[in-house]
Amino acid sequence: MSEVLFFHLERASLEDTLPVMLERTRERDQKRAVVRIGTPERMETLDAHLWTYSEQTFLAHGTAAEGHKSRQPIYLTTENDNPNQAQVLFLVDGAVPAPASRPAAEHHAPPVEVEPDEVEPDIQRRLDAILGGGMPPVESLPPDKQAALKRLQEYERKVTKVNAKYQEEFFEPVEEQIEKELYAREVK
């Protein structure tokens, strides 16, 4: 079974975090990685960044444009492919997992780089990608689309749980403190 890890980047950017995670992936048993990216423009930006992010090192990687897909230790793509037989899959910037019927990497590590105000639009974008923008009855969807929809629902539940936890642990105490300070003042 695949292990799925979610990372919500708040203090560090994807540009700061992704190279470190890819380095660790490569150090651990020389595992190969696929980085699936939401748009071709973003892929070009990350492609250039992985070559220049550090003065001391770089991450050997490639895209379809460079060729030799199967030999790349790290392969960047916008497609649902795994030409280098990667064991680790990173999903970034709105990229969605491949349908369950396709062979997948054994470990998924999608950094969830979504601002709180963008969670609903992000989920809606993913839903539109699965349903093609329409709302057909779930029973009429092909099995791979039903599986993708189920994964999206699970993702939405996780986001909701994290939101509720943050609300309880962080926002509610602050709101209570503000109310105490506001209403504890003497009115003249």
85: amino acid identity, one letter: Q
91 confidence band (pLDDT: 50, 70, 90): confident
Per-residue pLDDT at 71 exceeds 50:
yes
Per-residue pLDDT at 143 exceeds 70:
yes
- Please compute the mean of the pLDDT values over residues 45-66 and round it to a whole number: 90
Per-residue pLDDT at 183 exceeds 80:
no
Whole-prediction pTM: 0.55
DSSP state of 108: E
Average pLDDT, the chain: 77
Q: Where are the beta strands (DSSP E) in the chain?
A: 3-4, 7-8, 33-37, 74-77, 88-92, 107-108, 111-112
∠ at Cα 131 (110, 33), nearest 5°? 25
Q: Name, in order, each residue with C-beta under 8 angstroms of 3's C-beta and a sequence gap of 6 or more.
A: 106, 107, 108
176: amino acid identity, one letter: E
CB atoms within 10 A of CB 25: 23
Token duo for residue 188: 């003249």
Q: State the DSSP H helix or E strand holding residue 68, giving kind and residue range, or none if neither.
A: none
Token duo for residue 96: 């969605």
How high is the pLDDT of residue 74?
94
CB atoms within 10 A of CB 187: 4
User: Between these two residues, 172 and 44, which has the higher pLDDT value?
Assistant: 44
Per-residue pLDDT at 103 exceeds 70:
no
How high is the pLDDT of residue 101?
38
101: amino acid identity, one letter: S
Q: What percent of the chain has pLDDT over 70?
A: 73
Can you give the length of the chain in residues?
A: 188
CA distance 10 to 134: 32
- Residue 132, phi-psi category: left (phi > 0), alpha (psi -120 to 50), beta (remainder): left
Per-residue pLDDT at 113 exceeds 60:
no
Q: What percent of the chain has pLDDT over 90?
A: 18
